[in-house]
Chain A
Amino acid sequence: AQTVTQSQPEMSVQEAETVTLSCTYDTSESDYYLFWYKQPPSRQMILVIRQEAYKQQNATENRFSVNFQKAAKSFSLKISDSQLGDAAMYFCAYRSNGDDKIIFGKGTRLHILP
């Protein structure tokens, strides 16, 4: 069975600094998708970034980028120039290409210090 592990329950970063959230996963499949979702206090689930496993290039969305290491089954999220609005719960997630079901990690709560 696939699993997603986020080893950092909470993290803090100074505003304007850079922070990296860790995520590892376990799967025996080769074709899958990885995601980072943000859940602010409003509890809305917002897709931050996604990565197709077959793509070697790391995905980037403005200030958000990932470090995808397929062999190591690692998928970290880097947030550059952190802003107060980035404060939220961040979930790493996995989906097999052959399945609609998403498997979530336990989340990392990110605090932004002014």
Chain B
Amino acid sequence: GAVVSQHPSWVICKSGTSVKIECRSLDFQATTMFWYRQFPKQSLMLMATSNEGSKATYEQGVEKDKFLINHASLTLSTLTVTSAHPEDSSFYICSARDAKGAAQPQHFGDGTRLSIL
């Protein structure tokens, strides 16, 4: 079964709306989670690293004020796309790794398809 739950799977909203996406690790604790954006037929682009209890680390070119990340607990990280516009439409995926061991693989959520009208 899925070990990382991402919600919602699909959201359609009007331009100017803020949208929150949740990423939960179901049976392990994750001090670090990752948020990716994927354009059609392209690879995953890392947006930011979400750190439990501290500020997220954003990749170059990613607007911090546009993509707000909160990692309030060891099992939950949220990505909020603020004042979303059509260009923010994309597929967003989170991932997390069990912090218990270096060999643990990353587990991915099923992704969120965001469509801004």
Contacts and interface: CB of A to CB of B under 8 A. Distances in A.
Contacts of B103: 33, 52
A42 B38 CA distance: 13
Interface string B88-117: 000101010100001101101011010000
Nearest to A106: B43
B43 A44 contact: no
Interface of B is mostly: strand
Interface in A11-55: 33, 35, 37, 42-45, 47, 50, 52
Given A91-B43, A91-B44, A105-B43, A50 B105 contact: yes
Contacts of B49: 100-101
Interface residues of A, number: 21
Interface of B: 32, 34, 38, 41-44, 46, 49, 91, 93, 95, 97, 102-103, 105-106, 108, 110-111, 113
Interface of A: 33, 35, 37, 42-45, 47, 50, 52, 91, 95, 97, 100-102, 104-107, 109
5 contacts: A43-B91, A45-B111, A101-B46, A102-B95, A107-B42
